Every structure is written in structure tokens, then in C-alpha cells.
Chain A
């Protein structure tokens, strides 16, 4: 239980670090990486909590959820990277342009 709890805490920490990085950094690649780290944090919490049953065999349902989540994260990252390249090609910089004030 103790080790699992530590892993969970690390997961929460990763989530927070990722969130901070997402908001603060302007470069799109950093933002995408930040989101990935946040995702990893959540998965870590999920896996750690799978050990909670106290038996030798951990709960398989969270594992299934993590696998699904990883697949989703991969697709999302692929889309994000592709968009980032497109934005960079259009605007010359891999950053979100300032919102047009209307």
C-alpha cells in the first residue's frame, strides 16, 4: 500500500507540473509535452490505485482503462503534432498567435 500511495502521489505531482507547464509555456511543442506528462500522471495514479485491493493480483479494470487511455493519448498527440507543424508552416512560429481583438 505504501509504495502504491507514493506512486499515486507522484502521479498527482506530474499532473500539477504538467498543468503549470501547459499554461505558462508559449511554444506549442512544450504544451503538447505538458499534456502528455499530465496524461502520464493520471495513468500513474490509476495504475497505483489498482494495487488497492490488497490481494496479490491487482485489479485489472484500471489496467484496461490505462491501456485505452494510452491509445487515446497517442492519437491525440499525433493530431496535435500534425497541427503544430501546420501552424508553424502557416505562421512561421510554433506558437499560438495572439487572439484577434474584435
Chain B
């Protein structure tokens, strides 16, 4: 193996080794653990930057390891992979800082950060997977490494949430496995190829291909929280806030959505998927998720649960963009992968801040919280505007491209869905903002922690502010050289226009 082939492996190793090391650390070694955590995150970021630079010049790093006589494990830093892995790496660094602050004084931090690192390892593996079997491997690894984070607190409630999580995700994983093996027996290969690799299969396999598509999408849809497979997500809110932030913005949900993108573009090819009549139902399912998620969010009083249902809705934008099957919609869907990640993680960071600093968990307790925690709520406001789709926050860019793409593909009804969803988003975000900024605060907060004259700990404040700024930056600077939008356009070009 030459040096080039090591790079993707090193990206995986940077968090895997960090995690394994941290498992062995004694609980009291706080400083060492913090150093290791940050070192791992920064190393990974550096390696990803290097791969990014290579990708920008058309050089895609690749690693191949034999798994079975005719099947390899492949890690490939192609454009789509780089989009997701860059998002994951940046957000891992920020979430690590956040988690260090959040879990200050909590028990079992070595165990937590160990599994946390494994979780990111799995996510990066999902992003870099170059064929369906490698994807499957890391996808299941993601399930296994996120489970201990959900049951971390050791309560009966956590155990049951973990059980529910597993039932959903392992069933999904089984469907994904079945679809993968079946496809392999038909095509003899599983390599992700732009415009798909099922060209050799003719009409006689029509039923099998449709069935395989359903299996794959259902398996991925569980993690992507497509309705009706989304049930595990609100229940997983019992986990600590850094876990919710990670699950919703970076790891699990995005892995599912990313997988759907891969299946439609690099397994079936969007043209073939449309010909087989698969994109229409997919768009329908996405639409149902968008509307249903927003409707359920309206009626939640618990802040994290409202954000959870919002995620159900928002991630389906990505699936919708993919299902509309036009290049501009593709750009919209892909770029929303990044934008939604930035915005949603901001919101979850803020929710965690409110819970940790003031003991506020419910929206009804949030009166006047903007006076007490201005920076946090400013970040929250930015995130909310992004969700609603108001410029200049990045969410506007995604919705713009989705709408434009829908028109271009002759699917005008999507505009109605987008508009309706934006209205619903406004309906469940604006009241929160109104409460926080314009209502007088109560006499005492449910459970206040004193941070002196600071709003809250630095480690808790900095990440949401940074991600909020990134969300604005991704919107304002969307036409700049390395923006998510430019990158998404590059990917779409490869899918639609190159032979």
C-alpha cells in the first residue's frame, strides 16, 4: 500500500484509536482525556482538509482491503464523501468541546467519550464508504456505537429507549443487508458509481429491482427518520444533549439520508430510478414526513422533542431533493445535508445550554430566557430563521434550490409543500422566540447553575455561536469557492452530465 492509500484509513483511525485509548483511561484523568479528544478531532480535521484539497484537484484518495474473495472493503474520498466527512469532522470537533463542558462532573466520562469517538469513526466510515458493503459495515457499526450513548445514564427509562432504538435500527439494518446481498447476486458488484451500476440488468429484473429499492430505502429510512419509521427518534431524546446534537445533526440521521442519496445516485442512478417509477413514491414519502414532522412538532412542549420532530421534517428535504430527480433539486437536497446539520446542531446546543444552565426543558418555561442567556438565544434565533427558510441563513439557500429544481422538473406541487412547511416551521419556532425575547422572565429558574457573571461555561457557549455563524456564512457566502453550495453543484454535475 502506498502512502495515498493510508489516508482514508488514517481518518478512520484518528477517532478509532482515540476512542480505544480513552476507554482505558481512569475516570479522574480529565486533562489527558480532554487533550486526547481534541487531538483526535483536530487530527481528523487536518486529514480531511488534505483529502479535500486532493479532491478539489481531482485526486480522490482510496483504500481497498479484501473482505471476501470477490468483494473488497473500499474507502474512497470522492466529492459526495468529502461533503459528508467534512461536515462530520467539523461538527465532531465542536461537539467534543461542547460535551466536555456539558458533562463536567458527570460519571463515566471515559466510557462516554470512548463510545463518542467510536460513533464518529462509524460516521466517517459511512461517509467514505466506496461500495455498498463497506457502507453497510459502518452503518451497523453506527448502530452499535450509538446504543451505549443512549443508555449511558443507566436508568430504566434509558434502557427502554435504547431497546426501542435497537428494534428500529436493527430491523432497518436487516432490510439493508437483504437488499445488498440480493443486489450483489444480480450484479456481482457493489461499487458506488455515479449514474449507478445496475445498467446491465434489463427489464426482466424489474420486479427484483423495485423490491431491492424498497428494501434499501426502508433500511436507510429508519435512521433517516422517514415516516413511519421515525418512532425511535423522539424517544432517543432521553440521552444527554451532546448525544442528541450528534445524532440529529451529524451521525445517525444524516447517515440514513446520505445512504438514500447514495442509493439513488450511485447504485441505481437517478435516471434509472425515475424510469423504474421509484422516485415518485419516494417523493411522496418524503412529503408525508415533512408535513407530519412539522405538525407533530407544533404540539410538543418539551424543547428537545419539538426539535426531534423538526428533524424528522427537515431531513426529508434531502430525500425530497433527491427524489425530484433534476439537477437543481439535487443541489438543493445535497446542500441541505450540510445546512440542516449546521442549523440543527445549533438548536440542540442551545437546548442543552438551557437545560444545563437553567434547568429549562420545556418551552413553557422559556419566558424571558433571552435576557438571561442572550448569546445562546441569539444563536437559537439564527438557527430558527434558518429552519424557517429566511435569508440570509443557509436554510434559505436549500429551499430556494429545491423550489427552483421542482419547477425545472415540472413538479410544481413541491413548492406548495415547501411553502406549507415553512409556515409550519414559523408556527412552531416563532412562538419560542417570542417567549424568549419578549416575555418577562420568571422569578426563579427551575434549576440554576451559577457561572458568575458569565452567561454559561465557555465550552457550552462557543460551539453554538460558531455553528450559528457557520450557518449564516454558508448562506451569505454561498457562491464562494469552497462553500457547500459550490461543492453540491460539483456533485450534481457528475451525476447528471458526465457520461
Direct touching of A and B (C-beta under 8 Å): no
Q: Please report A residues at the B interface, Cβ cutoff 8 Å.
A: none
Q: Please report B residues at the A interface, Cβ cutoff 8 Å.
A: none
